[in-house]
């Protein structure tokens, strides 16, 4: 039976580095992929993810048990991403290519048991999905990603985004509406995807 996050972080704060290592491995994918979907490119996402984990490395007390560990972690990640986006826009936004600059090379990792055709179809869908999500306004995008890709409850999402629960419901609803409309012709019409 694996230990709870809060237990692990407490252990780490008492000096057990291995506990942090376990947390790292537990959360490396969620943190990195959350950042990746927000920022749109691997390089920045890796930077952001590193930043997040290194915070814990350098400052054990960075996390206080006022909130769930995962909430805190996602909040820090989100902040790191927003900071990067803001810097992007202010300084070199006209020139700095982010996500879509790498669109050509974007490859989806293979799923086991997929045929080449299935993989191609999935990649096509993924491209579309990605581009629609990219266009969502920030809060909607974040809420949707946290819900659909991290599977968080609305309550937790509300904490991370710093808004009310009601708000989260609306954000997710709107994001889904947008997706539904944008993907209408490709995803919904042909029912067997």
Partner 1 sequence: MNNPADIKYLISCYLDGEVTLEEKRIVEDALRKDPALKKYLDDLKKVSASLSSWTDENLSPDLEQKLERHIQSAGKGEGRTMTTSSFSIPMKTGAAAVAALLVLITVFINIERNEQLARLKSIRQVNEQIALSTLDSKQSQSSDQPVPSPVYGQKGQTEIQPLALREQEKYEADVLSDKLMAPVTEKKIDEGFFRIEQTAGERADKSKVDRVAKAETPKTLEMRATEIAGAMQAEPYKEANRRNIAVARSTESVASTKDGYLSSSAGPAQYYSLGGQIPAAPYPSKGRISDGEMYYPISPAENFNTEEYDRIYENAFLSSVENPLSTFSIDVDTASYSNIRRFLNGGQMPPKDAVRIEEMVNYFVYDYPQPASEEPFSITTEAAPCPWNPSHVLALIGLKGKELTAVEAKPSNLVFLIDVSGSMDEPNKLPLLQSAFRMMVNQLKADERIAIVTYAGAAGLVLDSTQGNEKPTILSAIDHLQAGGSTAGGAGIQLAYDVAKRNFIPGGNNRVILATDGDFNVGVSSDSELVRLIEEERDAGIFLTVLGFGTGNYKDAKMEKIADKGNGNYYYIDSINEAQKVLMHELGSTLFTIAKDVKVQIEFNPAHVKAYRLIGYENRMLAKEDFNDDTKDAGELGAGHTVTALYELIPADSGEEVQTTDELRYQKREAIPSNEVMTVKLRYKKPEENTSRLITRILNRQDISQSSVSDNWLFASSVAEFGLLLRDSQYKGNASYQTVLERAQPAKGQDPWGYRAEFIHLVEKAGMLNPGPTPVPVYMNK
Counting contacts by CB under 8 A, is residue 66 touching partner 1? yes
Q: Are 188 and 142 in contact (CB under 8 A)?
A: no
Give CA–CA dist 45/81, Å, rounded.
8
Q: Which position has the token pair 């506990």?
A: 19
Indicate the residue among 10 and 67 with the shorter CB distance to partner 1: 67
Indicate the residue among 5 and 140 with the shorter CB distance to partner 1: 140
Burial (CB < 10 A; 0-12, 13-18, 19+), residue 1, is exposed
Indicate the residue among 6 and 180 with the shorter CB distance to partner 1: 180
Within 158-187, which residues bind partner 1 (CB under 8 A)?
162-164, 166-167, 169-174, 176-185, 187
| H or E element that contains 55 | helix 42-58
Counting contacts by CB under 8 A, is residue 17 touching partner 1? yes
Give CA–CA dist 150/109, Å, rounded.
18
- Per CB under 8 A, the list member of 4, 6, 7, 93 interacting with partner 1 is 93
SS (H, E, C) 131-189: HHHHHCCHHHHHHHHHHHHCCCCHHHHHHHHCCCHHHHHHHHHHHHHHHHHHCHHHHHC
Indicate the residue among 1 and 121 with the shorter CB distance to partner 1: 121
**Residues binding partner 1: number (CB under 8 A):** 108
- Per CB under 8 A, the list member of 3, 26, 68, 88 interacting with partner 1 is 88
C-alpha 3 chain-centroid distance: 24
- Per CB under 8 A, the list member of 3, 26, 47, 68 interacting with partner 1 is 47
Indicate the residue among 1 and 158 with the shorter CB distance to partner 1: 158
Give CA–CA dist 79/90, Å, rounded.
17
Counting contacts by CB under 8 A, is residue 10 touching partner 1? no
Indicate the residue among 7 and 124 with the shorter CB distance to partner 1: 124
Within 108-147, which residues bind partner 1 (CB under 8 A)?
108-109, 111, 122-123, 125-126, 128-131, 133-140, 147
Counting contacts by CB under 8 A, is residue 62 touching partner 1? yes
């Amino acid at each position: 039976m694996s230990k709870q996050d809060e237990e692990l972080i407490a252990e780490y704060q008492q000096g057990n580095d291995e506990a942090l290592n376990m947390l790292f491995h537990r959360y490396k994918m969620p943190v990195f992929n959350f950042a990746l979907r927000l920022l749109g490119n691997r390089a920045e996402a890796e930077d952001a993810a590193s930043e997040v984990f290194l915070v814990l490395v350098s400052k054990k007390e960075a996390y206080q048990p006022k909130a769930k560990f995962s909430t805190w972690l996602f909040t820090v990640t989100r902040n790191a991403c927003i900071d990067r986006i803001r810097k992007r826009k202010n300084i070199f936004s006209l020139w700095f290519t982010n996500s879509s600059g790498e669109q050509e090379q974007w490859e989806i990792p293979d799923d086991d048991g997929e045929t080449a055709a299935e993989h191609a179809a999935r990649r096509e869908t993924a491209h579309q999905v990605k581009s629609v999500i990219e266009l969502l306004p920030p809060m909607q995008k974040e809420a949707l990603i946290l819900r659909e890709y991290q599977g968080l409850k609305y309550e937790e999402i509300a904490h991370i985004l710093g808004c009310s629960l009601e708000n989260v419901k609306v954000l997710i609803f709107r994001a889904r509406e947008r997706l539904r409309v944008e993907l209408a012709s490709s995803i919904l019409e042909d029912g067997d995807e």
